[in-house]
């Protein structure tokens, strides 16, 4: 036979267990909310950075450049595309001028991108 004292303890133990479970659920939901919020800010920040990069990319102007003695595609790439990797800059110059090779000659007029800023 269960005494009233044992029944009271049993009910308190079940209540304590339910309270512990509820506290863990609140903690898990709170952590999930924090993680979700951080993820949202990361996505928004990434989009903002990509938007800035796109804006910088569009702030370029095309100039005509007359090749001088001792000029090479690499030298021009370093001079006019300083913020870009050399291989990318070389590819941009070739694409802009419909060139298949990196050969240029003195007096040749080629197109280059120059930043506005």
73-117 pLDDT, tens digit each: 989 888 888 767 888 888 889 999 999 998 999 999 999 987 643
pLDDT computed for residue 45 by the predictor:
78
| Total count of domains within the chain | 2
pTM for the full model? 0.47
CA-based torsion, 42, 43, 47, 53: positive or negative: positive
35 and 74 share a domain?
no
Band of the pLDDT at 48, cuts 50, 70, 90?
confident
pLDDT computed for residue 105 by the predictor:
92
Buried b (16+ CB within 10 A) or exposed e, 94-116: beeeeeeeeebeeeeebebbeee
48 and 6 share a domain?
yes
Is the pLDDT at 59 greater than 80? The verdict is no
Question: Ramachandran region of residue 83, left (φ > 0), alpha (ψ -120 to 50) or beta?
Answer: alpha
Domain residues for the domain of 26 are 1-58
8 and 36 share a domain?
yes
């Amino acid at each position: 036979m269960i005494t009233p004292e044992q029944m009271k303890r049993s009910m308190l133990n079940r209540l304590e267990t339910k309270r512990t479970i509820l506290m863990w659920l609140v903690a898990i939901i709170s952590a999930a909310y924090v993680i979700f919020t951080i993820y949202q800010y990361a996505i928004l920040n990434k989009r903002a950075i990509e938007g800035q990069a796109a804006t910088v990319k569009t702030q370029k102007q095309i100039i005509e450049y007359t090749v001088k003695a001792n000029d090479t595609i690499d030298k021009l790439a370093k001079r006019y595309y300083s913020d870009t990797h050399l291989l990318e800059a070389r590819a941009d110059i070739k694409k802009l001028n419909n060139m298949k090779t990196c050969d240029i000659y003195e007096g040749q007029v080629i197109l280059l991108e120059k930043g506005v800023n």
